[in-house]
Copies of this chain bind each other. A is one copy, B any other.
């Protein structure tokens, strides 16, 4: 698992991860991680030997990506959000950037709410069928 541990800042916390470590931790394949890079969702640094070295920040990105994936969002849909998210190294971003970020997150939140509502509608529909079945069963004995 090549447990990457590069020199430099050595303050107790782990600094860099290999692709295999992340794949393991997040329960996905290395192919999936490389694919996300291919599509421009992440861009990890490289070691001298050209191997990918992921930071804790990259790992955070991946986690957010997976949450979106599980919620049914496409890679294209994630790109906008992450692109902006990346554009703010820390908190020193410019106001314009920060506003744009906030707006995007807000929009995404609305999207999520919409999908929740869609699911609620289906839930109600299923509820009706369930009630029907229960009634029929009750009237059958």
- A88 to chain B minimum Cβ distance, whole angstroms, is 9
Contact A67 B125, beta carbon cutoff 8 Å: yes
The copy count of this chain in the complex is 2
Contact A136 B98, beta carbon cutoff 8 Å: yes
Q: How far is the CA of A101 from the CA of B91 in the complex (A)?
A: 54
Q: How far is the CA of A21 from the CA of B64 in the complex (A)?
A: 43
List chain B residues, Cβ under 8 A from A99. 137
A residues 110-126 touching B (CB-CB < 8 Å): 112-113, 115-116, 118-123, 125-126
Contact B64 A98, beta carbon cutoff 8 Å: no
- Hey, which bits of chain A sit against chain B, CB under 8 A? 64, 67-68, 70-72, 85, 91, 93, 95, 98-99, 101-102, 105-106, 108-109, 112-113, 115-116, 118-123, 125-127, 129-130, 133-134, 136-137, 140
